[in-house]
Structure 1
Amino acid sequence: MAPLSKAITSAFVKITIWVIPVILLVQLIEKRNPVSYLGLRHNFSKGLKWAGWFSLALVTYLVVLYLVILNKPFNINTGFNEWLNTIILVGIIEEIVFRGFLLRKFMEKFKFWKANTITSLLFLSIHFPIWFYKGLFELPYILSSMITAFVLGIIFGFIYKKTDSLWSVIVIHSLYNLLISIFN
């Protein structure tokens, strides 16, 4: 399969497996408009302000960490598949599922911090197959990756709650994935 068609097929599968079920659940069970329910319609500018400030802090942290402390060069040669599936779609898809739907549903039953912790643990768990597949499941890499995924899940949940806008965490998540792609 050609790289372009492989990338598009992967994108289609991700949307079909992750996003479409969430949209159907919101429509059929919640009887709500998915765009509004997930936080994609309101507080857009508030979400982007938070995304802007947090992104500035994130870029500063990662540039200092990778370029100054670790003296690691960056690589801007990312292919179409990585741009589409890792940088653009993963931020959208994972945030729709984890913050837009799951965190919102857990907050109906639990206080925010408990709901956010559960959602962050689930967010962490979806990364295990990727780490196994890429052969990254070894010490110390796996410990730092697990901590990073969990902490990012907590931060994304907090920002989503503060902004009530899924766009804030979509932008931050996609930017994080872009930066990690550049520095790895």
Structure 2
Amino acid sequence: MIELNRNRKTTKQELIYVGAYFLFLLVFWSISRLILSPALEKTLPNTSLSYALCEAILKGVIWIVPVYVILKLQKLNPISFLKLNSNIMKGISFGLLLGIAFLVINIVKTKNFNIHITYSDFINTFLVVGIIEEIAFRGYIMQKFKLYVGFIGSNIITSLMFAMIHIPISINNHNIDPLYFVQVGILSLIFGYFFEETDSLICPIVIHSLWDLSMILTQIS
């Protein structure tokens, strides 16, 4: 009975951490997208390197620092828990295979190729976003939910949360399209599936980054 109560207490604490993190993320990411980014654009050209670096640092502080702090408080090794050092070659191989397939399909489908890439496109959309978002959602949130609801349940819950976190981005871009959120949710399920299959966060990071690169190159919003 004592062990059962201890396990329930641990489960409750874990879910509180995850819920608090997502609430923090939703609030401060909304502030960042809807208030701070527009203010930054009035100070720096949104095509400049300075703007891109400020955006990258801001997102890293909001998304990654809390995950690192939570895992350290739980006496977990962030790199190992997030599976950033697990099955690296397998993760890269599967990630490149599917990511390049997405890239080619989107270019062929749109018959468009954009060569005018800004610093923000390259640094934030291609290099940084995949790493930061996968650490937060697949590496942390999905793995924590998986402990209690299994892979399928955790992938679905994480994908719904992943779609929700894109609401501030959609509002900022003046593009509230339900199909956009459906696409984001489906992509999240794919990222989650290959994370589970490869047991490596490198895989969804590579797929995510190459998908975003295809959005830049084909100018798909």
When normalised by structure 1's length, the TM-score is 0.90
Q: SS in structure 1 opposite 2:145?
A: helix
Task: Give the structure 2 partner of residue 64 of structure 1.
Answer: 108
* Unaligned runs of at least 5 residues, structure 1: 68-72
Q: Per-residue CA shift, 1:49-94, capped at 9, x if unaligned?
A: 2112212321232123212xxxxx2212111112111111110000
2:169 corresponds to 1:169? no
Could you tell me how far apart the structure 2 residues matched to 1:165 and 1:17 are?
Answer: 23
* Unaligned runs of at least 5 residues, structure 2: 1-42
RMSD over aligned Cα atoms: 1.2
Of residues 84, 88, 95, the one that matches 1:51 is 95
Could you tell me how far apart the structure 1 residues matched to 2:70 and 2:107 are?
Answer: 40
- Which amino acid in structure 1 is aligned with residue 167 of structure 2? F
Task: Give the structure 2 partner of residue 183 of structure 1.
Answer: 218
2:121 corresponds to 1:76? no
2:62 corresponds to 1:41? no
Task: Give the structure 2 partner of residue 106 of structure 1.
Answer: 145
Report which of the two structures shows the higher radius of gyration computed on alpha carbons. Answer: 2
Task: Give the structure 2 partner of residue 23 of structure 1.
Answer: 68
Once the 2 structures are TM-superposed, how far is the Cα of residue 133 of structure 1 from its aligned partner? 0.8
How many correspondences in the alignment?
174
Could you tell me how far apart the structure 1 residues matched to 2:92 and 2:175 are?
Answer: 33
Task: Give the structure 1 partner of residue 193 of structure 2.
Answer: 158
Q: SS in structure 2 opposite 1:110?
A: helix
Of residues 135, 154, 157, the one that matches 1:118 is 157
Identical aligned residues as a percent: 37
When normalised by structure 2's length, the TM-score is 0.76
On the 8 A contact 2:195/2:201 being kept in 1, the answer is yes
Using CA pairs under 8 Å that are at least 6 residues apart, name the structure with larger relative contact order, 1 or 2.
Answer: 1
Moved over 3 A (4+): none
Task: Give the structure 2 partner of residue 14 of structure 1.
Answer: 59
Q: Per-residue CA shift, 1:122-177, capped at 9, x if unaligned?
A: 1111111111111111xxxx132111100000000000011111111111101111
2:183 corresponds to 1:144? no
